[in-house]
Copies of this chain bind each other. A is one copy, B any other.
Amino acid sequence: MSGARDPVSLPSAAARVFGRECRLGVRRVGELLQPVTFFLMVTTLFPLALSPEPSLMRNIAPGVVWVGALLSSLLSLEGLFRADLDDGTLEQLVLAGQPLAGLVAAKVLAHWLLVGVPLVLAAPLAASSLSVPAAALPVLMLGLALGTGVIVFVGAVGAALTLAGRRGSVLLSLLVLPLVMPVLIFGARATDEAVRGDSAAGGLWLLLAMLILAVTLAPLAVAAAVRICLE
């Protein structure tokens, strides 16, 4: 009797964690919609505060959309592990007897879906209010899909590292921001190229490469950080 009676496989345990995240997301639709509403707010508040000259607007539109996406996915990360830590369910995840990296990867993946997909879907709305031409939409949306993935996976490491001590998402932003700055720069540049009608393939490939790196390495770091921060 050295282990549990008959343990489940990692994929099916990860599927449970994924399912649980999605169910929770649906229960707390308000929280789920927060990043995307925030994104739309940021992108529509600008025309209000700036003098609305369409020519100027089109110039800064890609940057505004990408800054909005970065900020809103960053903000959604603060609660990623914090809520689980507070109610004790994070301990249960650690004690599941599964490789922790696999379980947290499922959790972060679910978070990406729940945060990233609404952002990508809302992008056309934001873009049109900033008079981005429709031709640039595919690049914008694809770029956001990849870019939010990088942000969420890299950000998860920061979220796990800042669990210990008092809650302070400032630390999180400070840790994560330098790491995801390239995403912002390449994403905005790719969109800008698409707006001017140039090819944006280079930027998108770069984002894809970053995403692959983040998805493979970040869960290991997250698992290590979670173990350290439970006390």
Partner-B contacts on A (CB < 8 A)? 27-28, 30-31, 33-34, 37-38, 41-42, 45-46, 48-51, 56, 59-60, 62-64, 66-67, 70-71, 75, 165-171, 173-174, 177, 181, 184-185, 188, 192
What is the CB-to-nearest-CB distance from A80 to chain B, in angstroms, rounded to a whole number? Answer: 14
CB-contact partner of A185 in B42, B48, B170, B177, under 8 A:
B48
CB-contact partner of A67 in B46, B63, B75, B188, under 8 A:
B46
Report yes or no: A71 in contact with B49, Cβ–Cβ below 8 A.
no
| Complex alpha-carbon distance, A171 and B48, angstroms | 21
Report yes or no: B173 in contact with A31, Cβ–Cβ below 8 A.
no
Question: Given A75-B75, A173-B41: A184 and B49 within 8 A (CB)?
Answer: yes
What is the CB-to-nearest-CB distance from A173 to chain B, in angstroms, rounded to a whole number? Answer: 6
What is the CB-to-nearest-CB distance from A135 to chain B, in angstroms, rounded to a whole number? Answer: 19
Report yes or no: A181 in contact with B48, Cβ–Cβ below 8 A.
yes
| Complex alpha-carbon distance, A192 and B170, angstroms | 30
Report yes or no: B45 in contact with A51, Cβ–Cβ below 8 A.
no
Q: Which residue of B lies closest to A75 (CB)?
A: B75
Report yes or no: A46 in contact with B30, Cβ–Cβ below 8 A.
no
| Complex alpha-carbon distance, A184 and B45, angstroms | 9
Report yes or no: A50 in contact with B168, Cβ–Cβ below 8 A.
no
What is the CB-to-nearest-CB distance from A78 to chain B, in angstroms, rounded to a whole number? Answer: 10
Residues of B within 8 A of A33 (CB): 170
Q: Which of A28, A38, A45 has the most CB of B within 10 A?
A: A45
Report yes or no: A174 in contact with B70, Cβ–Cβ below 8 A.
no
Question: Given A56-B59, A75-B75: A185 and B34 within 8 A (CB)?
Answer: no
Residues of B within 8 A of A169 (CB): 31, 34
Report yes or no: B188 in contact with A49, Cβ–Cβ below 8 A.
yes
CB-contact partner of A188 in B50, B63, B171, under 8 A:
B50
